[in-house]
Amino acid sequence: MNEAPLRLGTRGSKLAMAQAGHVAEALTARTGRPVELVEVVTAGDRSNAPVHRLGVGVFVSALRDALVAGTIDFAVHSYKDLPTATTPGLHIAAVPPRQDPRDALVARDGKTLAELEPGAVVGTGALRRIAQLHALGMPLSVTPIRGNIDTRLARVLGPDADLDAIVLARAGLARIDRADVVTETLDPMLMLPAPAQGALAVECRLDDTDLVELLAMLDHAPSRAAVIAERAMLATLEAGCSAPVAAYAVVAEGEPTGSGVDGDDVQEIYLRGAVISPDGTRDIRLSRTGTPADAAEIGKALATELLDLGADSILGPQGHDGPGTQQFGSTE
Ligand SMILES: NCc1[nH]cc(CCC(=O)O)c1CC(=O)O
């Protein structure tokens, strides 16, 4: 076949390029279609303003504009950076198999969290991580940082290192082949990740039906169900990707019923969610199980329970999504 390459739009950061490269390879391997990467410069990449002023959406909207304008055919996003509101005319055609969604500690001298000295300075950008570090009640000093992954790693591992440790997404490190620097992968019971962390969203125009069908070959149903549950919780809380909201869903084989062949491959989804005040003094955590087909309902129901326990008073007016409340964390 002699088909024109599909144009995959991506931001130019190392992480974005790596993510797009993996998806391009997977698609070509599955379908034989060549894929060409098209770099899209977003307002977020051009600006030096803090991310909390710009809003994380600026990294996404230029890619979506390019999709709508037809200058690219599809785009790959870090799913956790997508606003919960849907965009008319666009469609998430695939959620590929999710990477490890857990957060990671990168500490000097190979230390784990428990081994850090009293007074150790830990850097991290996202409010949910700051809040959960405080909630541990350890004598740590938590300091906000931002920048791309290499910039953040340099603050612990570089010649001018000024921090004892940082916390960041393991998936980001893995995608740029730097998982070797992780000194501890944090247990989600202590450090619950961001909704959709480690997952990618492959997006195209809804009316591009051939491409919708082609990209669906990259979809991984359990990863999609997990992300749907986590993001339904986030949306119901009306919180943004930088709010102190955490969620993690696992899809697993359920208990065999023993009653017959059909019952033996029943899948179960287990969703855990948390809303934590930035100083860590208030920490509401709940979980819920159900079937993957009900992922969205499970997420909504868990959010409602969290709200009943006072999550709203933690999120407050500033905890909710909006241009003034975005994270001062990373740009990747
Ligand atoms: N908001 C930044 C961001 N968006 C996606 C990732 C990492 C990869 C992922 O979670 O899919 C990161 C970095 C981080 O949180 O440390």
Dist. CA 63–CA 311, nearest whole Å:
33
CB 201 within 8 A of CB 284: no
CB 259 within 8 A of CB 241: no
Q: Which residue has the tokens 């098209």?
A: 38
pLDDT value of residue 322:
42
Dist. CA 99–CA 315, nearest whole Å:
28
Residue type at 188 in one-letter notation? P
Dist. CA 286–CA 84, nearest whole Å:
21
Q: Whose CA is nearest to atom 7 of ligand 1?
A: 172
For 233-266, letters b (16+ CB in 10 Å) and e give bbbbbbbbbbbbbbbbbbbeebeeeeeeeeeeee
Domain annotation for the chain: domains and CATH numbers: 6-98+199-219 (3.40.190.10), 103-185 (3.40.190.10), 225-325 (3.30.160.40)
In this prediction the ipTM stands at 0.94
pLDDT value of residue 156:
98
CA of 201 to the centre of ligand 1 (A): 13
Nearest CA among 37, 35, 48, 33 for reference residue 14? 37
Ligand 1 neighbours (beta carbon < 6 A): 78, 80-81, 168-169, 171-172, 197-198, 329-330, 332
Residue type at 34 in one-letter notation? P
pLDDT value of residue 309:
97
DSSP secondary-structure letter at 320? B
pLDDT value of residue 266:
86
CB 286 within 8 A of CB 246: no
Residue 43 token pair: 């307002």
pLDDT value of residue 183:
98
Dist. CA 270–CA 249, nearest whole Å:
5
Q: Is 81 among the residues known to form the active site?
A: yes
Ligand 1, residue 169: give the atom nearest the CA.
16
Q: Which residue has the tokens 């303003």?
A: 49
Strands 200-205 and 74-78: antiparallel
Q: Which of the residues 73, 81, 103, 321 is marked catalytic?
A: 81
Ligand 1, residue 331: give the atom nearest the CA.
2
Detail the DSSP E strand segments found in 158-281.
Answer: 165-169, 184-185, 200-205, 245-253, 267-276
pLDDT value of residue 41:
84
Q: Which residues contact 214 (CB under 8 A, 6 or more apart)?
A: 27, 31, 33
CB 166 within 8 A of CB 122: yes
Q: Whose CA is nearest to atom 3 of ligand 1?
A: 332
Ligand 1: residue of 45, 170, 197 to mutate (most ligand atoms within 8 A of CB) is 197
CA of 172 to the centre of ligand 1 (A): 6
Rg of the Cα trace of the chain? 20
CB 245 within 8 A of CB 234: yes
Nearest CA among 219, 177, 174 for reference residue 201? 219
Ligand 1, residue 194: give the atom nearest the CA.
10
This prediction has a pTM of: 0.90
- pLDDT string in tens for the chain (332-residue length): 558 999 999 999 999 999 999 999 999 999 999 999 999 987 666 666 555 555 556 778 899 999 999 999 999 999 999 999 989 999 999 999 999 999 999 999 999 999 999 999 999 989 999 999 999 999 999 999 988 899 999 999 999 999 999 999 999 999 999 999 999 999 999 999 999 999 999 999 999 999 999 999 999 999 999 999 999 999 999 887 678 999 999 999 877 666 655 555 689 999 999 999 999 999 999 999 999 999 999 999 999 999 999 999 999 765 554 433 334 334 44
Dist. CA 289–CA 128, nearest whole Å:
23
Distance from chain centroid for Cα 301: 21
Q: Whose CA is nearest to atom 9 of ligand 1?
A: 198
C-alpha distances out from residue 285 to 93, 191, 273, 275, 319, Å: 32, 11, 6, 7, 17
